[in-house]
Structure 1
Amino acid sequence: MKFTLICCLLLQAAVVISAQKKVVCFWGTWAAYRAGNGKFEVSNIDPTICTHIIYSFMGAQEDGSVTYLDSYLDLSENWGKGYIDKFIALKTQSSSVKLMMSIGGWNAESAVYSKIAATATGRETFAQNVLNMINKHGFDGFDFDWEYPAQRNSVYGSADKANFVALLQTLKSKLAANGKLLTIAVAVVEASASLSYDIPNVAKNVDFINLMSYDLHGSWEGVTGINAPLYAGSADISSYQKQLNIDAIVNYWVAQGAPRDKLILGIPLYGRSFTLSNSNNYGVGAATSGAGNAGSFVPESGFLAYGEICLNIKNGVFSRYWENTQKVPYAVGGNQWVGYDDSESIAYKINYIKDNSLGGAMFWSIETEDFNNLCGNGKFPLVRMTYQALVGNEPITIPPTSAPTQSPSTIPTNAPTQAPTQSPSTSAPSGPFICPGNGLFTNPADCGSYYNCWAGTAYLQLCPSELVFNPNGYCDWKYNYKCV
């Protein structure tokens, strides 16, 4: 009887543990080399607001060996900074946090992993070396960030798909036997994920899956777009465009057989930035001339750390706008435009995680948060609110959509919630058209233009050449909508 009772209690405890939401925090160690407000050391990490923290990155070689990418940062020998030991010492501040290491990333060669995964010997050697590295330093597990099987400079192409499953099986066998976690970070959009992953069999062999649900739009597209929209925008017309949002991503992975509780929703702590072609045309879908200027926190064009974005808004350099259809903000300052996430959009994502029974949230990456409280909302405000809501089960109240911090002088004080496929070339107020409300409306006199109504004022705007305005709220090809 006592044995049965104990078994039942243990089973209940296991259910509770497995049901707890995760807040997974990636840390890019190279932020130690940044200057000023962008510099981030291991001492800046708060281990009490993440359930898992992932040290990024270690390296691998074609022979299956596992290497240090920066021995000066990673190790204490030869007067190094000893980041790994200091990272593991975070356990003294939080006994519950899981501290993991990651191999891979965008800059790693896909060819290396393609070769490792292709043979049983390669898989066995790599798995053993991963375990050796974990045990040497005291990590709790391993995150594999192969970007991506069967893509980029893969050696074996489509064979990577099955080989990746075989490699995960080998890794899982070794790591699980030693009480270590195995997770992966994955390409998420259907057009890419379908090339790389046998999703049901991948999911069987990992503890959870970190969805890299960001970089869905960027300066490579030629028009402004949100980094990680929750839902599709009204200008997302093609089947591919409709894949570029979190809701479509989650639905695809679930439909392909991934258990909901193994899906960890990726949230970016940075924005993708653009330089506007015309600073008077600044909505989602506005024409751009290239990437946004590099910031002072992270010296990379087309990229702005959240800490710098919120500081620019606080100081009046940027004005914040809300894209209601996609449930995300963007900010504009002169000809600079950035789509990003803040407390309001993350509140929607937290509720989405809960409503869809997902396993939790993942952040890429903590060194671009407001970790020094420059914006006045405390250190790590976005990660902290997520942890409190998902792990602490504190209620999330989504604030009302806020107005921009300052109003541009030549355009409405808020961007339309439904953007055209490309921003028009004019935005001057028109004549006798009477606005029936806020939004986009057909111009009865011209199929190639429309009215953008805001606060009772009508602004005549033009569709790009060869397109006509569709009453559904976007500029469309003539063969899709016959304007009469």
Structure 2
Amino acid sequence: MAQLSMIRRRKPLLIVFLLLQWFCTQVVSQDYSVTNPCATGYCSRSGYCNVEDYCSASRCASTDLRKSPLMRDPKERDPCVARCDYTATTGEFCGTQKVDRPVCRKNHRLSRVVGYYEGWSPTRAYKPFYPLQIPPNIYTHLNYAFATINPRTFEVGPTSRKEAILMERLTDLKKSQPSLRVNIAIGGWTFNNPGPTASVFSDLVRSEANQKKFFRSLISFMSTYGFDGVDIDWEYPVADDRNGRPEDFDNFPKFMANLKNVLMSTCGRDELSLTLPKSYQYLQHFDIKALEKNVDYFNYLSYDVHGKWDREKQLTRAVLDSHSNLTEIREAMDLLWRNEISADKVLLGLPFYGRVYTMADDNCKNPGCMFASAGNPGRCSRQAGILLNSELDDIRKEKNIQSTLDTDAAVQILTWDRQWATYDDDKSIQLKLDFARTTCLGGVVVWAVSQDTYDGTYSRALSGITPQPLYIA
């Protein structure tokens, strides 16, 4: 009876609470989640958006990413935990915890300069690029992109006989540069596109039997072509849109530990790296602290921050912005520092290509102005919205125009014929190198050396980063 009396006394309060909850749900929340987030970013355990009272240090489900989806079983993730954690990285919407960013002097030594070489670059009808065009004594590492994995046998191999020959040409560069290490990159974005290899990585990491086949084949493959290590480019585990499974979160670190153990038995072919996405959408599916234990370094994909896809996303608008904006990269890296990742294991990504838009208004050319569509494809890129640096060089020369340096974003902006492009040159690269040094990073990684000019203009902007023995090519 006492309990019943208490319920009656609280009934008016309960009714008010329920009415409030209904109102917020109908007018404000609209069933927001990490896949349907609110535009302002506010989100609490209760799922409410646009209401700051529901998102604070005391009410937010978590403000510490060590307790967040980045480190938890994907099946147990709360969408609002994810949302609050993500917005907490900038301190704008949720929580008060400050990020302990690494700080070093400007003379901090970058130990690695890694460059990806695209196996398809010699087949371009315009501006093909061959291994011998890579300037010597600049890169400490070259990654051949990509080897494939047979979806039935899990054996590693080149995609064609022509690429097998190209792999040998790339590793042959070590003859004139003995300190150079050449690694094989496995995977890539298209590897997880719908098709025979879409689920190969997920199938591999969930099965010890498949791993044994893979390891045996990999060691033989590396020995045959002279590779010194492996770069795993899985884009991306767990994610539904990339043919992942929830169990990838736990299986991937176990696989990497097994792989590292196998590589350590090869007498020197033991380097292991891993690509990491910048976006929280995909990074949340990596147990980065567990993965860190068995990798020599992470290749951080700090580009493609913006692009033509911004038109379709709920939280972005069709506005002109740089795809390698340093301001946004700095904030995105906070996800790593919250998880206490060693800065010297992180390499900053540098693109040798630009993202291009068609402007909506010729008279509005500044970042933040609207774009109408992706920019025109180039003869090399053959893809709307992308131009290689070598193509952008041609445009500047043909039209006798100059780019403008945006020092905040650390990019060059080039406009012509309603086209708007951002890219990196020697000046913006220097700004990013300064950031890498003062953030104590381990080095930089380029996608891709094969998008350079025929004489390696952009690679030469990286000369002198690491002290290297001088070898005559």
TM-score by length of 1: 0.68
Distance 2:158 2:218 in 1: 14
1:131-210 mapped onto 2 (5 Å cutoff):
131-153=219-241, 157-178=245-266, 179=268, 180-194=270-284, 196-210=285-299
Amino acid at match of 1:120: E
Tell whether 2:391 aligns with 1:308. yes
Q: State the SS of the aligned residue for 1:144.
A: strand
Q: Is the 8 A contact 1:63 1:116 kept in 2?
A: no
Tell whether 2:335 aligns with 1:246. no
1:383 alignment partner in structure 2: 459
Q: Is the 8 A contact 1:212 1:265 kept in 2?
A: yes
Offset of residue 62 of structure 1: 3.2
Which among 127, 147, 153 is matched to residue 58 of structure 1? 147
Tell whether 2:130 aligns with 1:41. yes
Offset of residue 112 of structure 1: 1.2
Which among 70, 83, 96 is matched to residue 159 of structure 2? 70
Larger relative contact order (C-alpha < 8 A, sep ≥ 6)?
Answer: 2
Q: Is the 8 A contact 1:52 1:99 kept in 2?
A: yes
2:362 alignment partner in structure 1: 279
Instruction: Name the CA shift for 1:127/1:340 in 2 (closer, same or farther; >3 Å).
Output: same
Mean CA deviation greater in 292-301 or 331-340: 292-301
Offset of residue 321 of structure 1: 2.0
1:230 alignment partner in structure 2: 326
CA distances 1:189-222 after superposition (whole Å, capped 9, x unpaired): 233201x211111111111110011000011212
Q: How many residues align?
A: 348
Offset of residue 136 of structure 1: 1.9
Offset of residue 356 of structure 1: 1.1
Distance 1:188 1:355 in 2: 19
Distance 2:120 2:410 in 1: 31
Q: Is the 8 A contact 1:64 1:123 kept in 2?
A: no
1:91 alignment partner in structure 2: 174
1:99-110 mapped onto 2 (5 Å cutoff):
99-109=182-192, 110=198
Q: Is the 8 A contact 1:317 1:333 kept in 2?
A: no
Q: Is the 8 A contact 2:156 2:214 kept in 1?
A: no
Amino acid at match of 1:102: A
CA distances 1:153-204 after superposition (whole Å, capped 9, x unpaired): 555522111111011011101012212211111212233201x211111111
Q: Cα RMSD (Å) of the superposition? A: 2.1
Distance 2:368 2:243 in 1: 37
Offset of residue 272 of structure 1: 0.5
Q: State the SS of the aligned residue for 2:138.
A: coil
Offset of residue 281 of structure 1: 1.2
Tell whether 2:378 aligns with 1:295. yes
Which among 214, 233, 237 is matched to residue 303 of structure 2? 214
Distance 1:28 1:47 in 2: 17
1:257 alignment partner in structure 2: 340
Q: Which runs of 5+ in 2 are unaligned?
A: 1-108, 193-197, 311-317
Q: State the SS of the aligned residue for 2:336.
A: helix
2:418 alignment partner in structure 1: 335
Distance 1:224 1:69 in 2: 38
Q: Is the 8 A contact 2:357 2:421 kept in 1?
A: yes
1:30 alignment partner in structure 2: 120
Offset of residue 71 of structure 1: 1.8
Q: Which runs of 5+ in 1 are unaligned?
A: 1-18, 76-81, 232-244, 373-378, 394-484
Q: Is the 8 A contact 2:183 2:227 kept in 1?
A: yes
Q: State the SS of the aligned residue for 1:206.
A: coil
Offset of residue 147 of structure 1: 0.4
Distance 2:215 2:330 in 1: 34
Distance 1:50 1:388 in 2: 10
CA distances 1:295-331 after superposition (whole Å, capped 9, x unpaired): 1232211101111212322333554123233222211
Q: Is the 8 A contact 2:359 2:418 kept in 1?
A: yes
CA distances 1:113-156 after superposition (whole Å, capped 9, x unpaired): 11111122222322232222112221101111000111255555
Offset of residue 268 of structure 1: 0.2
Distance 2:114 2:393 in 1: 22
1:292-441 mapped onto 2 (5 Å cutoff):
292-316=375-399, 318-370=401-453, 372=454, 379-391=455-467
Distance 2:240 2:400 in 1: 38
CA distances 1:242-295 after superposition (whole Å, capped 9, x unpaired): xxx221232221221321111011100000111111222111122122111111
Distance 2:358 2:407 in 1: 22
Tell whether 2:207 aligns with 1:124. no
Distance 1:268 1:95 in 2: 26
Amino acid at match of 1:269: F
Q: Is the 8 A contact 1:346 1:382 kept in 2?
A: no
Instruction: Name the CA shift for 1:187/1:64 in 2 (closer, same or farther; >3 Å).
Output: farther
Amino acid at match of 1:164: F
Amino acid at match of 2:174: K
Mean CA deviation greater in 361-370 or 247-256: 247-256
Distance 1:324 1:45 in 2: 28
Distance 2:381 2:416 in 1: 18
Pick the structure with more strand per residue: 1
Distance 1:349 1:360 in 2: 11
| Percent of residue pairs identical | 26
Distance 1:175 1:274 in 2: 44
Amino acid at match of 1:342: D
Tell whether 2:203 aligns with 1:115. yes
Instruction: Name the CA shift for 1:148/1:64 in 2 (closer, same or farther; >3 Å).
Output: farther
Q: Is the 8 A contact 2:110 2:437 kept in 1?
A: no
Distance 2:202 2:241 in 1: 9
Q: Is the 8 A contact 1:58 1:66 kept in 2?
A: no
Q: Is the 8 A contact 1:150 1:159 kept in 2?
A: yes
Pick the structure with more helix per residue: 2
Q: Is the 8 A contact 2:410 2:429 kept in 1?
A: no
Offset of residue 64 of structure 1: 5.2
